[in-house]
Amino acid sequence: MRVLGIDCGSERTGYGVIESDGVAHRIVAAGAILTNRKSAFEQRLAVIAAGLRALIQQHSPETAAVEEVFYSANVKTALKLAHVRGIALLAVAEAGMSLAEYSPLEVKTSVVGYGRAEKCQVQQMVRSLLFLPEAISSEDACDALAVAICHATHQATNERFARVGALR
């Protein structure tokens, strides 16, 4: 399956597209959509929307995954992020793709095997799981790849369970 992971942010929205059978993953594309700090917020949202649409059209992922919004840190930041997240969910829905949401804990548990893993551990595991010669330099792209890997793994596990259930 081809999975798009999105790491929402008003300044940088990370993305990662992987091809996966749920066990072995291969990177297709990764990067970040950058917006101009000086632009009006709604113009930045338009840049993110256009970027995501182009990405979906180019790589045709079947399913997408985003992190759940968490608001422990700063409500103002979380609200800004939620605007961007709205744009991401819209792009996914309008492309007719399925969507999954995972908590940061679920992503880290899935990728590193430990829910309280450090950023660098996630980076290291993303690199290792995708057989990359070096770590992904963009933190946003790396987070997006991590949520994509998490989704691919969950999806494959669910499908296996469904098959086992059907055999009974």
- Catalytic machinery residues: 7, 67, 140
Q: Is 154 in the site for a copy of itself (CB under 8 A)?
A: no
Interface map 101-140 toward a copy of itself (x if CB under 8 A):
----------------------------------------
Phi, psi (degrees; rounded to nearest 5) at 4: -105, 125
Secondary structure (3-state) at 61: coil
Among residues 55, 92, 112, 136, the one that binds a copy of itself under rule CB under 8 A: 92
Is 45 near a copy of itself (CB under 8 A)? yes
- Minimum CB distance to a copy of itself, residue 8 (Å): 10
- Distance of CA 2 to CAs 24, 76, 87, 127, Å? 12, 34, 21, 18
Torsion sign over Cα 92, 163, 102, 136 = negative
The residue assigned the tokens 């059907």 is 166
The Cα 98–Cα 143 span in angstroms is: 20
Considering the complex, state which of residue 80 and residue 127 has its C-beta at the smaller distance from a copy of itself. Answer: 80
> CB 82 → a copy of itself: shortest distance, Å?
3
* Residue carrying structure tokens 């499908």: 159
Q: Which is nearer to a copy of itself, 75 or 166 (CB)?
A: 75
Q: Token pair for residue 22?
A: 């749920």
When the beta carbons of 28 and 92 are compared against a copy of itself, the nearer one is 92
Helix H or strand E encompassing 4: strand 2-7
Residues that bind a copy of itself (CB under 8 A): 40-43, 45-46, 49, 69, 71, 75, 78-80, 82-87, 89-90, 92-94, 99
